[in-house]
Amino acid sequence: MSAISLKIRILDKEYQVNCKPEEREALELSAKLLDEKMEEIRRGSHLIGVERIAVMAALNLAHDLIRSEQDVKADEQTSHLLQSMNSKLSSVLTDLNS
pTM: 0.70
CA distance 28 to 19: 10
- DSSP designation for 16: E
Residue 50's CB is within 10 A of a number of other CB atoms, namely 14
**pLDDT for 96:** 85
One-letter amino acid at 45 equals S
Residue range 43-58, pLDDT digits in tens: 988 877 889 999 999 9
Q: Which CATH superfamily is domain 4-97 in?
A: Cell division protein ZapA protomer, N-terminal domain (3.30.160.880)
**pLDDT for 30:** 94
Residue range 12-67, pLDDT digits in tens: 899 999 999 999 999 999 999 999 999 999 998 887 788 999 999 999 999 999 99
**pLDDT for 1:** 65
Q: In 3D, which of 35, 37, 28 has the Cα closest to residue 64? A: 37
**Nearest 5°: CA angle at 32, between 31 and 34?**
65
